[in-house]
């Protein structure tokens, strides 16, 4: 009897997929969500840091009592009109409560080192060494409200800091945030330490503790997306910047080029000379930049831990350049407590590119014995495929046994805000991502996806680490010839050593589907020729190489006791998981069925069903519009239920007027969705 719906769905999918679906307005309304049926605050132990600082036990984050701790978080920024980085004091409790109810247990406080009114630096001075009193007070109050609800903070130090004449920084008007320069210029290092000292020794008047002694500050990041090795490999250490406005990714000025050459004690190579340089010449110069990074992180670690006495865990910087080898940078960042990766995705369907997916890209950086987190991920808005990003990352982060995921970016809005998506990165009012933010929190924090049964370890010799920087782009993203990157879709993947024996070859027959060794995840796809490649630049541009021509096909299934998912081109792959099947008209969609409590689906009395497809704005403004997932959803093997109520939820997570009728098909229950338009449903099995 269980197979009957599957056969029917296969036929229905073929018919439905031929029809187009009209976009419908659907907006997220956090302001009206206080009485919503989706409240995941029970996932958190409040207040944050109640028992002390987050620690490292057996290579993973843990509470002081040894309980495993996972991070499900968001970045806070303010790029879109109507956004604020730090909420006003009379709005702080609202936004802290909103994040808590959506399952967020950590916020990454990004770009604090900008002038007010966005950051905390005083804007009315000729230097940047003082804080704005009002902004600092707002930050203190907001952190306090987050702490009350069990939400930790990841405090970023050097992100957006630009300089003024009074700072005593050479070429301050040209260098912008000083990427690469922050590793070796004495004055810039001095200013980084001064900023850290002022912030970490500041007493929060609401918690009565200094931030260096505040257990709700789980993590401190030293620099953001900043590597002198990467700057050298990108040709940004030539000293050609003499005029024009500063940019995020630019060359250094002649003064700093001369200082760097003086430190190296000789002429330096340019990227066009890498291939022809002798092994000794190339490796000598690369080792020089690696040593600069290593010395910087070692010095900053000593200053933060020993001089200031901070007890928070430290991140150096992230792996963020997938078109380049990460191993030289990891040689220095692995001195610190946590390894970090950034993983943006652009406009193509990730399910079509398993061997170039965010999962594979990020997996290259995880180090054995170290916690690994993803402190930035976003699937760019608007798009046809954005619904896939959060569930895919939550599922495979569980398989890889990572310690944290922080989505980029959540922008708190002022009270007058009319909900729509103002930038390609903001998820705060995204009607597809917000439901999956909640579903992902349940999947990841409850550890619904089992960690892989086998861990594949890679060990690199010193020569491999150095020479990986000269490998062709066809070896991206692992830069390990002969090593099948699909290992990350099957097993846990970690680096055991960056100064050991050479990595051995590992080959898999990468045919569809690629299944996890836990048998809970399966990736269906149409193989294509050509190399999996990394990004051309840090500006999150499209990928290079043949991946651009990848066929629009692919699907991932998640099948665990508490979470089920169908992600991708569902009509092409009429697959079923234990409790979920679908026959929909949409070409592409993501369906996630998850228990809203600690019980498995077969026993739970309250379930969440998220249903996402295409999303966009109306022209250049509000409201956001969705392509509602339209067709039949079949809920299977729910146990001895007498009926199923399926309540469409509005943008405030409230039940709409009437539940949808679920019809019995043998032991399964079929419900037609799409009208009213929504991206999430509360499902109540009647037992």
Q: What is the pLDDT of residues 25-70, one digit of tens each?
A: 999 999 998 778 899 999 999 999 999 999 999 999 999 999 999 9
Residue 523 · residue 513 · CB < 8 Å: yes
DSSP state of 450: P
pLDDT confidence tier of residue 386, bands split at 50, 70 and 90: very high
Indicate the average pLDDT of the chain.
Answer: 93
Residue 546 · residue 560 · CB < 8 Å: no
CA-to-CA dists, residue 477 to 232, 323, 516, 530, angstroms: 19, 7, 20, 13
**Close Cβ partners of 360 (under 8 Å, ≥ 6 residues apart):** 354, 477, 478, 485, 486, 488, 489, 532
pLDDT confidence tier of residue 1, bands split at 50, 70 and 90: very low
Residue 13 has pLDDT above 80, yes or no: no
DSSP for 466-511 reads HHGGGS-GGGTTTT-TTB-TTHHHHSEEEEEESSSSPPPPB----P
Sheet holding 106-109, edge to edge: 313-315, 217-223, 152-158, 106-109, 71-76, 404-410, 372-376, 339-342
pLDDT confidence tier of residue 657, bands split at 50, 70 and 90: confident
Residue 550 confidence (pLDDT): 62
Residue 620 confidence (pLDDT): 75
428 token code pair: 């705060």
3-class DSSP state of 387: helix
Express each pLDDT in 324-365 by its tens digit.
999 999 999 999 999 999 999 988 999 999 999 999 999 999
For the chain, domains (ranges, CATH) are: 4-25+561-686 (2.60.220), 37-451 (3.20.20.80)
Within 10 angstroms of residue 148's Cβ, the number of other Cβ atoms is 18
**Close Cβ partners of 294 (under 8 Å, ≥ 6 residues apart):** 331, 332, 335
493 token code pair: 């993947």
CA-to-CA dists, residue 576 to 46, 154, 386, 436, angstroms: 38, 39, 22, 20
Q: Is the pTM of this model over 0.75?
A: yes
Residue 87 · residue 138 · CB < 8 Å: yes
What are the φ/ψ torsions at residue 292 (nearest 5 degrees)? Answer: -60, -45
Residue 187 has pLDDT above 80, yes or no: yes
543 token code pair: 């990928």
112/115 Cα distance (integer angstroms): 8
Residue 541 has pLDDT above 50, yes or no: no
- Assign residue 581 a region: left if phi > 0, alpha if psi is -120 to 50, beta otherwise? beta
DSSP for 94-156 reads HHHHHHHHTT--EEEE-STTSBTTTSSB-SSSSSS-SB-HHHHHHHHHHHHHHHHTT-EEEEE
DSSP state of 584: E
Residue 15 confidence (pLDDT): 46
pLDDT confidence tier of residue 420, bands split at 50, 70 and 90: confident
Longest dimension (CA), the chain: 80
pLDDT confidence tier of residue 530, bands split at 50, 70 and 90: very low
Express each pLDDT in 551-573 by its tens digit.
789 999 999 999 999 999 999 99
pLDDT confidence tier of residue 417, bands split at 50, 70 and 90: confident
Residue 8 confidence (pLDDT): 44
511/317 Cα distance (integer angstroms): 35
pLDDT confidence tier of residue 531, bands split at 50, 70 and 90: very low
């Amino acid at each position: 009897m269980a197979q009957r719906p599957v056969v029917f769905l296969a036929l229905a999918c073929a018919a439905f997929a031929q029809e187009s679906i009209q976009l419908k307005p659907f907006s997220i309304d956090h302001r009206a969500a206080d009485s919503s049926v989706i409240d995941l605050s029970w996932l958190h132990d409040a207040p944050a840091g109640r028992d002390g600082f987050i620690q490292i036990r057996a290579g993973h984050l843990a509470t002081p009592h040894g309980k495993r701790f996972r991070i499900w978080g968001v970045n806070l920024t303010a790029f879109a009109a109507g956004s604020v980085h730090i909420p006003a004091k009379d709005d702080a409790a609202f936004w802290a409560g909103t994040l808590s109810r959506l399952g967020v247990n950590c916020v990454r406080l990004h770009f604090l080192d900008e002038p007010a009114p966005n950051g905390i630096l005083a804007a009315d001075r000729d230097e940047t060494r003082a804080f704005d009193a009002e902004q600092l007070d707002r930050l203190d109050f907001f952190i306090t409200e987050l702490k009350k609800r069990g939400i930790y903070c990841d405090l970023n130090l050097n992100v957006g800091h630009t300089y003024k004449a009074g700072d005593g920084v050479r070429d301050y008007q040209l260098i912008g945030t000083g990427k690469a320069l922050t590793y070796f210029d004495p004055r810039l290092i001095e200013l980084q330490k001064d900023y850290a000292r002022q912030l970490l020794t500041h007493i929060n008047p609401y918690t009565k503790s200094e931030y260096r002694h505040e257990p709700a500050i789980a993590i401190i990041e030293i620099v953001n997306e900043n590597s002198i090795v990467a700057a050298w490999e990108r040709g940004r250490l030539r000293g050609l910047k003499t005029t024009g406005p500063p940019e995020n990714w630019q060359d250094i000025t002649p003064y700093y080029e001369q200082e760097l050459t003086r430190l190296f004690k000789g002429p330096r190579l340019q990227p066009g000379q890498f291939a022809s340089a002798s092994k000794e010449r190339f490796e000598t110069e690369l080792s020089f930049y690696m040593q600069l990074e290593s010395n910087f992180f070692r010095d900053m670690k000593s200053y933060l831990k020993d001089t200031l006495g901070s007890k928070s865990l430290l991140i150096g910087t992230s792996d963020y350049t997938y078109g380049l080898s990460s191993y030289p940078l990891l040689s220095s960042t692995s001195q610190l407590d946590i390894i970090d990766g950034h993983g943006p995705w652009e406009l193509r369907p990730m399910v079509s590119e398993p061997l170039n997916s965010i999962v594979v890209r990020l997996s290259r950086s995880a180090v054995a014995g170290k916690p690994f987190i993803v402190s930035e991920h976003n699937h760019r808005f608007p798009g046809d495929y954005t619904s896939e990003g959060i569930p895919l990352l939550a599922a495979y982060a569980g398989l890889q046994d990572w310690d944290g995921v922080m989505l980029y970016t959540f922008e708190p809005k002022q009270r007058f805000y009319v909900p729509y998506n103002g930038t390609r990165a903001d998820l705060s009012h995204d009607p597809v991502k917000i439901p999956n933010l909640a579903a992902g929190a349940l999947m990841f924090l409850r550890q619904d996806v089992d960690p892989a049964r086998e861990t594949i370890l890679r060990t690199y010799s010193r020569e491999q680490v150095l020479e990986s920087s000269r490998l062709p782009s066809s070896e991206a993203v692992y830069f390990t010839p002969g090593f099948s990157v699909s290992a990350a879709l099957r097993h846990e993947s970690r680096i055991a050593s960056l100064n050991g024996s050479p990595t051995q070859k590992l080959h898999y027959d990468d045919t569809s589907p690629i299944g996890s060794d836990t048998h809970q995840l399966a990736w269906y796809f149409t193989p294509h020729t050509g190399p999996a490649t990394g990004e051309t630049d840090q500006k999150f541009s499209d990928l290079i190489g043949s991946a651009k021509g990848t066929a629009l096909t692919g699907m991932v299934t998640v099948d665990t006791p508490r979470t089920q998912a169908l992600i991708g081109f569902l009509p092409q792959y009429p697959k079923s998981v234990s409790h979920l099947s679908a026959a929909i008209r949409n070409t592409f969609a993501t369906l996630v069925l998850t228990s809203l409590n600690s019980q498995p689906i077969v026993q739970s009395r309250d379930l969440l069903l998220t249903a996402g497809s295409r999303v966009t704005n109306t022209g250049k403004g509000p409201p956001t519009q969705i392509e509602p997932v339209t067709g039949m959803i079949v809920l299977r093997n729910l146990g001895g239920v007498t009926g199923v109520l399926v309540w469409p939820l509005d943008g405030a997570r409230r039940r709409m007027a009437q539940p949808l009728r679920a019809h019995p098909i043998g032991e399964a229950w079929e419900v037609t969705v799409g009208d009213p338009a929504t991206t999430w449903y509360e499902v109540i099995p009647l037992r």
